[in-house]
Structure 1
Amino acid sequence: MRTVLITGATAGFGKAIAEKFASNNFNVIITGRRANRLNELVKQLTAAYNVKVHGLEFDVRDKKAVFSAIEQLPAEFKKIDILINNAGLALGRDYFEDADIDDWDTMLDTNVKGVMYVTKAVIPGMIERKEGHIINMGSIAGKEVYERGNGYCASKYGLDALSQSMRVDLLRHKIKVTAIHPGAAETEFSMVRFKGNAEAADKMYEGYQPLSAADVADVVYYTTTLPSHVCINDLVLTCVAQANSFYLHR
């Protein structure tokens, strides 16, 4: 039985991805910052799918916590076949001059450095075995810059570059690297971005059917089902109503 590690698994894409892999008979390692949600999901997945599930409570921004948690994994979870770097967020939707610098720091530390830390901690085993698959959850914000996207776009552009670099550097180790860039998707994402302003968050999805977390999870899982010699390097995913960051038909 194979094992997948999913960061930021207590809500949104991460939770749906964990459910998708568990339902397909994977052992699952889930990480998150909220212990209550993490423990609840461990119980839920174990009961629903009869697979082994292990929860790790840490913030991907905390380098020491990341390495400590990965190093102390129980023996039955040490062999990680697939790493899904899902933990990420957007904070604020302000013009550059009005943006909060602390928001920028949080986004860059989570969306870029957090991916570096977790991957660095997990990858030695993949290198030793000469196999593995790393999936980095990006965004169309890493493909086209839009107004008032500044810090978030910068973080996702950085992640896109990091994914490309990983693909090249890990080529000699036969490790797959896939970057997946979803467009508008109805999860907690907008509530976090607008800092709890439900009215502003809801307006993001008015007049069209956005992606769901399950839609994204289906695509993530698909990229892991291909033959060993096939790798999807880069994939942009949107709903039918959205062509890119600028064109959306409501």
Structure 2
Amino acid sequence: MLFLQNQIVLITGASSGIGAACATVFASAGAKLILAARRQERLQELADSLVEKYHSTSEQIHLLQLDVRDRSAVESAISSLPPAWSEIDILINNAGLSRGLDKLHEGEFADWEEMIDTNIKGLLYLTRYVVPGMVSRDRGHVINIGSIAGYQTYPGGNVYCGTKAAVRAISEGLKQDLLGTSVKVSSVDPGMVETEFSEVRFHGNTERANQVYQGVTPLTAADVADVVFFCATRPSHVNINQVILMPVDQASTILVNRRR
């Protein structure tokens, strides 16, 4: 798509799942990608596969080994981007995770802090350091990956749902704050998506993670990336504020039809 040719797209949490799927769909449209994640080797593998698949060059991809929870690291990463990469057109705040399904009064403090620091503060840090440039250029788009959990709480989801409710509120607030500029804000909020999400939630317990999707055809990371891509490619006067998407077998956070 000519609209995205050589546009600079920064994707956090790009080493797997929805982030990697977004990288793929934007690479296919000729965008220049800044891929950020903690796992440098996974980023490099993704970059190599994109170069091979789309016959692009390594000059089209810039890698950032970055933990979004580290404010000073985020500031340094954005401020030290090479001039050719500094004018970010699209920011996809995808980095996020869930930890555990404990009742609130039995929760692990470390799990809470990791979710809050990643899902809320990391998103805020990237937004704070990237959006001023968009405002000064009077163009740009922030796309936040939220969740149905930001709309509906479920048992054991307490803090995670709270962080995604915060993403929803932050997205709405940012849209209001940017009124009068040409900068867009979208929130893409999926239900069940089969990625590493559940494995991370259960601290690597693959068997328990697989049970989450048993009997259900969940969304894929590519399904979500398609919606992100749709939001990013609307005409300049159109802003997609929020999109909620779920698999057909899911009606809410707790109502799921499991086909035996």
* TM-score, normalized by the shorter chain, greater than 0.5: yes
Secondary structure, aligned partner of 1:56? strand
Equivalent-residue separation in structure 2 for 1:47 and 1:126 (angstroms): 31
Match of 1:35 among 4, 16, 40: 40
What residue number does 2:232 align with? 224
Match of 2:27 among 22, 25, 29: 22
- Is 1:47 matched up with 2:52? yes
Unaligned runs of 5+ in 2: 1-5
Q: Which runs of 4+ in 1 moved over 6 A?
A: none
What residue number does 2:181 align with? 173
What residue number does 2:253 align with? 245
Unaligned runs of 5+ in 1: none
Matches within 5 A, 1:102-121: 102-121=110-129
Letter in 2 for 1:189: F
- Give the structure-1-normalised TM-score: 0.98
Q: Say what the alpha-carbon RMSD is for the aligned residues.
A: 0.9
Secondary structure, aligned partner of 2:34? strand
- Give the structure-2-normalised TM-score: 0.94
What residue number does 1:129 align with? 137
Cα distance, 1:38 vs structure 2: 1.5
What residue number does 1:7 align with? 12
Cα distance, 1:199 vs structure 2: 1.3
Cα distance, 1:62 vs structure 2: 0.2
Match of 1:145 among 147, 150, 153: 153
Q: Give the total of aligned pairs.
A: 250
Cα distance, 1:95 vs structure 2: 0.9
Equivalent-residue separation in structure 2 for 1:188 and 1:4 (angstroms): 23
Equivalent-residue separation in structure 2 for 1:179 and 1:118 (angstroms): 15
Cα distance, 1:230 vs structure 2: 0.4
Matches within 5 A, 1:64-213: 64-213=72-221
Secondary structure, aligned partner of 1:171? coil
Secondary structure, aligned partner of 2:180? helix
Cα distance, 1:248 vs structure 2: 1.0
**Deviation sequence 1:163-195 (CA, Å, 0-9, x none):** 110010011222110011110010000000011
